[in-house]
Amino acid sequence: MSNILIADSGSTKCEWCLLSNKKKKKIITAGISPYFLKSEEIVALLQTELLPHINQNNINHIFYYGTGLKDNSNKRFIQSALKKIFYEADIEVQTDLLGAARALCKSEKGITSILGTGCNSCYYNGSKVVKNSPGLGYVLGDEGSGAYLGKKVIQNYLYNTFDKELMLAFDKKYNTNADSILNSVYKQPQPNRYLASFAIFLAENRGHYMIENIIENGLNDFFFTHLSKYNESWLYPVHFTGSVAFGFKTVIENLCSSYGMKLGLILKQPINGLVKYHQQ
């Protein structure tokens, strides 16, 4: 009997699905990024958060899709870490972008967009990623992502740009200060996750004009900087996945309309689509 383990990992969380005899079992662990975790840290994470829920010796195939894997050396790094636990399994490591494209487009042509902690996009020809707008990470890019939007929230707070209502709401929710924020951003590990954690403030204060401006401008930056670079964005459906895309899907719908693009699917996460893809 073939037991397949599928993983879709961002930098914040990783969703796993074990397919065994037509049964599905889902597990969520912390995210895995080759830029932020060492091999031994990945192994420890899997031993602590994944292995208590599955029998590692029964896994035949692993299809792992993750962030930070455009570089082949990072793919080998992740594969090596997985092999330290799943010795006998056949392991395929691919980018989260290909995973999202397979989940959203299946075997059809389309544009795939990821808007979660980070951002990414591509034109997918039905079998592989053909074009990819460069992703520059949370420091230089990641337009429209949770980290990008969260950074805008922090900027407005620290610059005292928010009006009194939003300043009070921010203080009540986070109970922090400038020194603590700057320490977390510049001195603590995984600052992209920290920045993205402030995007929830936008979701909780919808309707305020300053909040709506941050959301609309941030997502428009993604459309202008990335999606508008593909001629195919006006030829095929434009699909989205990720917590930011799902949480602000009405804004996504309006932007697609404004740009004259055909909106495809908007999924919170691609794992269900990946399960269907690998069950074909």
3-100+272-278 falls under which CATH superfamily? ATPase, nucleotide binding domain (3.30.420.40)
- pLDDT per position in the chain (280 positions), as tens? 478 999 999 877 899 999 887 788 999 999 888 887 889 999 999 999 998 988 877 888 999 999 888 888 999 999 999 999 898 899 999 998 999 999 999 989 999 999 988 888 999 999 999 998 877 777 877 899 999 999 999 999 999 999 999 999 999 999 899 999 999 999 888 888 899 999 999 999 999 999 999 999 999 999 999 999 999 999 999 999 989 999 999 999 999 999 999 999 999 888 989 988 887 6
Q: Which of 119, 149, 123, 112 is nearest to 136 (CA)?
A: 119
Q: Describe the strand order of the beta sheet including 119-124 as a list of residue ranges.
A: 129-132, 119-124, 110-115, 238-241, 263-267
What residue type is 61 in one-letter code?
H
Cα 66 from Cα 35, distance rounded (Å): 12
Q: Which residues contact 258 (CB under 8 A, 6 or more apart)?
A: none
Res 279: pLDDT: 78
- For every residue of 185-212, DSSP letters joined together read HHTSS-HHHHHHTTHHHHHHTTT-HHHH
Res 280: pLDDT: 67
Torsion of CA 161, 165, 168, 174, to 10 degrees: -80
* pTM, two decimal places: 0.83
Q: Which two tokens stand for residue 33?
A: 């990024």
Q: Which two tokens stand for residue 79?
A: 């594969």
Q: Indicate the domain borders of the chain.
A: 3-100+272-278
Q: Which of 142, 65, 71 is nearest to 103 (CA)?
A: 65
Res 121: pLDDT: 93
